[in-house]
């Protein structure tokens, strides 16, 4: 059992938790993830490690309430326990001195970008971070991102913070103004695909962190398979980071849409049970 030590609301329906998991805290590196399960009947859900405090045995996770398990997780309180907290899983981000790095994050992808840019900054890279959200109220971790970035830029759909438009609009301006050595992107699939198309035209190496559906997290089930350069890879063991210019984007989007439909049915049933007072924690 793993204890929720700290809980904080950081945006509407976005939570930051610190979980007491000493072994994970000691071994996790930027870019890796964990899989949690709330109870014996819960589903296995992957979340990127948003930070660690090894001396205190704490692992930070940040999540948005979008499905049954994340809604259930958000209903828990400090001092409560969850059944499983497995990790670290996946391959860590390759940290080295590239020169100028642009990190692009959409929505809660900012939580995944944070530990990556921190490590990239520590080895001497210039880090430009671009954060996208629907509106200013949905921007998270601004102070922490600013601390780890040489420049922090914003794009919002409604123009309430930064440039009105998309992260690619801001990225294009940065590409026009500076020599970029590598781009790191994490967020919704359409956003990452748009970033990849833009950087491909400029021949800028681009890494994306993928979040396909996962079950076991060890490469056995095949649910998280993606196609890279015509070859099947598994995001849980070969990733979650891949070369954006080698990824079969249409296949990834198609598989995610299938699972989203199944998740919606599950969530509708879950909500109905709660409204009928048939559900108990």
* Span 131-172, pLDDT tens digits: 999 999 999 999 999 999 999 999 999 999 999 999 999 999
Token pair 């642009």: residue: 102
Helix axes 189-201, 249-275, angle to 10 degrees: 160
What pLDDT, in 10s, does the model give residues 184-229?
A: 999 999 999 999 999 999 999 999 999 877 777 878 888 888 999 9
Is 10 exposed, middle or buried (CB count within 10 Å of its CB: 0-12, 13-18, 19+)?
A: middle
Residue 36's alpha-carbon distances to 57, 84, 99, in angstroms, are 16, 5, 36
159: left (phi over 0), alpha (psi -120 to 50) or beta: left
Question: Measured in Å, how far apart are the chain's first and last C-alpha atoms?
Answer: 16
Average pLDDT of the segment spanning 90-107: 96
The 8 Å CB, 24+ separation contacts for 142-151 are 144/114, 145/110, 145/113, 145/114, 145/117, 148/114, 148/117, 148/118, 148/121, 149/103, 149/117, 149/121, 150/121, 150/126, 151/127
- The whole model's pTM is what? 0.88
Residue 130 φ/ψ, nearest 5 degrees: -120, 125
Q: Does 6 have pLDDT greater than 70?
A: yes
pLDDT band at 259 (very low <50, low <70, confident <90, very high): low
Mean pLDDT, residues 259-266: 50
The predicted pLDDT at position 66 comes to: 87
Mean pLDDT, the chain, as a whole number?
90
* CA–CA dist 257, 265 (Å, integer): 13
Reading the block at residue 262, the tokens are 């199944």
264: pLDDT strictly greater than 70: no
Q: Say whether pLDDT at 279 is over 90.
A: no
Least confident of 38-42, 113-117, 184-188, 197-201: 38-42
Share of the chain above pLDDT 70, in %: 91
């Amino acid at each position: 059992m793993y204890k929720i030590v700290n809980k904080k609301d950081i945006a509407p329906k976005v939570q930051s938790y610190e979980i007491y998991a000493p072994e994970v805290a000691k071994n996790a590196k930027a870019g890796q993830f964990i899989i949690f399960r709330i109870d014996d009947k819960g589903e296995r859900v992957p979340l990127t490690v948003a930070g660690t405090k090894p001396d205190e045995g704490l692992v930070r996770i940040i999540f948005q309430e979008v499905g049954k398990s994340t809604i259930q997780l958000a209903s828990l309180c400090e001092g409560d326990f969850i059944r499983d907290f497995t990790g670290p899983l996946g391959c860590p981000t390759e940290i080295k001195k590239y020169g100028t790095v642009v990190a692009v994050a959409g929505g809660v992808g900012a939580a995944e970008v944070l530990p990556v840019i921190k490590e990239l900054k520590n080895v001497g890279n210039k880090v430009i971070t671009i954060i996208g959200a629907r509106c200013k109220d949905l921007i998270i971790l601004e102070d922490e991102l600013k601390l780890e970035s040489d420049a922090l830029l914003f794009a919002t759909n409604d123009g309430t913070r930064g440039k009105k438009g998309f992260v690619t609009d801001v990225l294009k301006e940065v590409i026009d103004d500076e020599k970029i050595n590598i781009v790191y992107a994490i967020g919704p699939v359409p956003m990452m695909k748009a970033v990849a198309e833009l950087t491909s035209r400029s021949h800028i190496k681009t890494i994306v962190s993928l979040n396909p559906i996962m079950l076991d997290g060890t490469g056995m089930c095949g649910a998280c398979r993606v196609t890279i350069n015509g070859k099947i890879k598994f995001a849980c063991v070969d990733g979650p980071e891949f070369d954006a210019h080698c990824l079969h984007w249409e296949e990834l989007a198609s598989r995610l849409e299938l699972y989203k439909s199944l998740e919606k049915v599950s969530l509708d049933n879950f909500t109905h049970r709660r409204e009928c007072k048939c559900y108990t924690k």
